[in-house]
Amino acid sequence: MSAQGLLIALTKGRILEEVLPLLEKAGIIPAEDISKSRKLIFDSNIEGVRLMVLRGSDVPTYVELGCADIGIAGKDVIMETGSSGFYEPLDLKLATCRLMTARPVAQNKSPKRMRVASKFVNIAKAYFSEKGQQVDIIKLNGALELAPIMGLADCIVDIVDTGKTLKANGLEPEELIAEISTRVIVNKAAMKLKHAQIQDLLMRLQKAVN
């Protein structure tokens, strides 16, 4: 946990592009253009409030271990981390999509023990376990649509936005696992020690969302 002020961990990429205008609405503006800098930590117009830009999958870790007080990350990443080391007080309703299972269109029935390809290994395990279905999880980090085409997996668990990529590769979305959007997470110790500062920030963000 940063000793003084607040350190906010932001997710780079699409979430960052959508979050920066919201932060501005909430009165938090980076001291320089994040998109044009190679720096990873930025001062803001509010004294003591700094912004840090990370890979989405690292944001929950930084917040849980207290290196950042607050994080902004996708619900998919938060679910995959499965951490009890932080609170999740606010849904920013940005970068919305769905986490779903998908399989080849022509596939009539599932084998008894399915092979499931996903980068969301923990979510997939928990989901099929809850259904009482035995599966073998294959961890892949990209181009999941290839796995069923190449016979590597029977189905995939992935983020679905428009569904066009699935369709182009002969797959169809099947079961909804979770609605995904961008959430604010807060380190538990920071919430106690910096309560007034964090509550003020959350209220600003809530107003900006509304």
- For the chain, the structural domain boundaries read 6-95+181-209, 97-179
Q: What is the pLDDT of residue 1?
A: 56
Q: What is the rounded end-to-end Cα distance, in angstroms, of the chain?
A: 29
Which helix H or strand E contains 122, and what residues bound it? helix 121-130
What whole-number distance in Å separates Cα of residue 156 and Cα of residue 175?
11
List C-alpha distances in Å: 31 to 8, 34, 39, 48, 49: 14, 9, 12, 12, 11
- Burial string for 161-195 (b: 16+ CB within 10 Å, else e) reads eeeeebeebebebeeebeebbbbbbbbeebbeebe
pLDDT per position as a tens digit, 92-104? 999 999 999 999 9
Write down how long the chain is.
210
Which amino acid belongs to residue 13?
G
Please give the DSSP secondary-structure letter assigned to residue 34: G
Percentage of the chain beyond pLDDT 90 is 88
CATH of 6-95+181-209, one of 3.40.190.10, 3.30.70.890, 3.90.1150.10, 1.10.3720.10: 3.40.190.10
Q: pTM of this prediction?
A: 0.89
Q: Is the pLDDT of residue 87 over 90?
A: yes
pLDDT value for 170: 94
Buried b / exposed e along 103-119 (16+ C-beta atoms within 10 A) = bbeeeeeeeeebbbbbb
- Strand 182-187, strand 86-91: pairing: antiparallel
Q: Kindly compute the dihedral angle of the four CA atoms of residues 121, 125, 128, 130, in this order, to the nearest 10 degrees.
A: -140
Calculate the average pLDDT of the chain: 93
* pLDDT surpassing 70 at residue 2: no
Residue 182 has pLDDT above 70, yes or no: yes
Is the confidence at residue 148, as pLDDT, over 90? yes
Query: What's the topology of domain 97-179?
Result: D-Maltodextrin-Binding Protein; domain 2 (3.40.190)
Neighbours of 14 (CB within 10 A): 15
Q: What is the pLDDT of residues 9-61, one digit of tens each?
A: 999 999 999 999 999 999 999 999 998 888 999 999 999 999 999 999 999 99
Per CATH, 6-95+181-209 and 97-179 having the same topology is answered yes
What average pLDDT does range 120-127 have in this prediction?
97
63 within 8 A of 186, measured Cβ to Cβ: yes
Radius of gyration of the chain (CA): 19
Rounded-to-10 torsion of CA 57, 92, 20, 165 = 60
